[in-house]
Amino acid sequence: MRFVFLGPPGVGKGTQAARFSERHKLPHIATGDLLRVAMKEETSVGLKAKSFIENGRLVPDEVIIALMEDRIQAPDAKSGYILDGFPRTIAQAKALSEILTRNGVALDCVFYFSLGDETLMERIVGRRTCPDCHAIYHVSYHPPEKEGLCHCGGILFQRKDDVPETVAERLAVYKNETSPLITYYKNENILTEINADQSIDRIAENLQKMV
């Protein structure tokens, strides 16, 4: 099974993808996580991506496509995966389609998570992330058991790009460059919209009913 989780930053894609991944035993492939690891390790991809990420812009298509081409053809992704944060442009969607065709497979469904801008901002600025296991928390909506500490023991941090000025830029970039994918996948008849203005548990239940 091959799924894309599409939607604006902060809508809850990563939160749902982590649960869905555990339930369906599918790798959760999040481009943002891959890029943050690459930045930390100062690989050539990380060095190329850094300024784009910190300014809320998209990393150039060629960098992302090369990264994802390798990742989705890795042995653990042979029988499926959840793509979270990719594709984010029409060029990336076309590249993904070519890779899938070459491998004789196809996407099963694109889940499009929808939510208003005000709530997105609230969710993003309250997000706290684990540097070790990539778990996602929220200071009010999904707090950790022990303040500032992940269940794995990691020390939670606020992403540098999760501050209001950068978030505004990321929301604008989403509208201009990523939202055209809604129509793109609607035309391919594989888009299912999920109302993300509900509790984490309720959204997970809705997703469950759809697969």
Q: Return the active site residues.
A: 13, 88, 127, 159, 170
Of 2, 88, 123, 170, the one binding ligand ADP (CB under 6 A) is 123
DSSP 8-state code for residue 166? H
- Residue pair 98/28 in contact (Cβ under 8 Å)? The answer is no
Of 2, 3, 6, 14, the one binding ligand ADP (CB under 6 A) is 14
Contacts of 162 (CB under 8 A, 6+ apart): 124, 125, 127
- Residue pair 189/110 in contact (Cβ under 8 Å)? The answer is no
Q: What beta strand segments (E) does the chain contain?
A: 2-6, 28-30, 81-84, 109-114, 127-129, 136-138, 191-195
Instruction: Provide the residue type at 36 as one letter.
Output: R
Q: How far is CA 118 from the centre of its chain?
A: 19
Question: One symbol per residue from 146 to 185: x for binding ligand AMP (CB under 6 A), - otherwise; what is it?
Answer: ---------------x--------x---------------
Task: Determine if 141 is a binding residue for ligand ADP (CB under 6 A).
Answer: yes
Of 105, 109, 190, 200, the one binding ligand ADP (CB under 6 A) is 200
CB of 158 to ligand ADP, least distance (A): 10
CB of 32 to ligand AMP, least distance (A): 2
* Separation CA 14–CA 20 (nearest Å): 10
Number of residues that bind ligand ADP (CB under 6 A): 21
Q: How far is CA 173 from CA 25, 82, 176, in A?
A: 32, 23, 5
* Separation CA 51–CA 192 (nearest Å): 33
| Binders of ligand AMP in range 46-105 (CB under 6 A) | 52-53, 56-59, 64, 85-86, 88, 92
Stretch that binds ligand ADP, among 37-45, 47-55, 74-82, 136-144 (CB under 6 A): 136-144
Of 2, 28, 36, 127, the one binding ligand ADP (CB under 6 A) is 127
Site residues, ligand AMP (CB under 6 A): 9, 31-32, 35, 52-53, 56-59, 64, 85-86, 88, 92, 161, 170
Site residues, ligand ADP (CB under 6 A): 7, 9-15, 123-124, 126-127, 136-138, 141-142, 198-200, 203
